[in-house]
Amino acid sequence: MSILAPSYADSSKGDWDKIIAEFNKTYPKVEVKLQIEGWEGFSDKVAARIQANDYPDILNDNAFAASAEAGILYPIDEVVSAETLAAIEPSLLANGQSADGKQWAAPDIASARMMAYNVDLFDKAGIAAAPKSWAELEEASAKLAALGGDVKAYGMPLGNEEAQVESSLWLWGAGGSWIVDGELKADTPEAVEGFTQMKKMFEAGYTQPNLEDNRQDVATLFQAGLLGMLVAHSPIVTDAEAKGVKVALAGRWPSSPSSGSRTR
């Protein structure tokens, strides 16, 4: 059996190894070949294997529609028990459905994103608490940037891996939504406000210089103690703490002054 999966953090291979070890307790004669790849170019690696008719038996990916249409996927209920599927949060399970409602995929992990910050850098910069508004975020960023050296205030990954997540945070922080009256909209007043704030942060020198960085690029800065804040999931935080960074989580994502009067 072969598995192709992306790396979410340094611990990804270890997590899969534990799953495989449990599987082999029941099926000791089944050899499991695990291939872990970085997110950078992951879709290209998947496509290359499909084109070569070298299909992984299990693929951990969020893009499955084309494979389903090509007829190379099993419906998930043919390989996963009804009991297991029933134990998965329905809203997460729905992400694995095609437009006609057929279930082709199921989530294996889920994580919540929160703003994480470097406690020691905050202390050095004289920042008492995590920012709750864009104004406070700018104030904190200015203090972090003033520390000098290679320290950057905020990680803003807008590479092809993470742009949709990062931009959504700023849109939501302005009280907006991507869907308006059933249609995808990226030019609403809230979107303009959110994207303008992103540009403001970059032009002030508060972010890393290369906005085409992906999540792991800014995570590496954070884990090296050179980044004050970033939006992270739990493996990034765990990896940073393992490298000696004292991390705390903000209770909320900073928002614009006008977001309180809007709903999404």
The CATH number of residue 191's host domain is: 3.40.190.10
CB-based contacts of 159, cutoff 8 Å, min separation 6: 40, 212, 213, 214, 215, 217
Domain end among 96, 122, 143? 96
Same domain (yes/no): 57, 153: no
pLDDT of residue 263: 38
SS3 24: helix
Same domain (yes/no): 140, 215: yes
Same domain (yes/no): 136, 87: no
Residue range 62-91: mean pLDDT, rounded: 91
Report whether pLDDT(262) > 50: no
Asked if residue 211 is part of any domain, the answer here is yes
Same domain (yes/no): 179, 229: yes
Same domain (yes/no): 244, 141: yes
Residue range 216-220: mean pLDDT, rounded: 92
Percent of the chain with pLDDT over 90: 69
Report whether pLDDT(261) > 50: no
Confidence of residue 162 (pLDDT cuts 50, 70, 90): confident
Spatial distance between the Cα atoms of 7 and 24, rounded to a whole number of angstroms? 22
pLDDT of residue 175: 94
Domain end among 96, 122, 142? 96
Residue range 23-34: mean pLDDT, rounded: 96
Specify the higher pLDDT residue, 251 or 57: 57
Same domain (yes/no): 121, 89: no
Can you give the residue range of the structural domain that contains 230? Answer: 114-249
CA 32 and chain centroid, separation? 27
CB-based contacts of 210, cutoff 8 Å, min separation 6: 217
Asked if residue 170 is part of any domain, the answer here is yes
Percent of the chain with pLDDT over 70: 97
Long-range contacts of range 149-152, CB-CB < 8 Å, 24 or more positions apart? 149/226, 150/226, 151/121, 151/226, 151/227, 151/228, 152/206, 152/207, 152/208, 152/221, 152/226, 152/227, 152/228
Residue range 127-154: mean pLDDT, rounded: 96
CA 205 and chain centroid, separation? 23
Residue range 179-195: mean pLDDT, rounded: 93
Asked if residue 78 is part of any domain, the answer here is yes
Residue range 131-146: mean pLDDT, rounded: 97
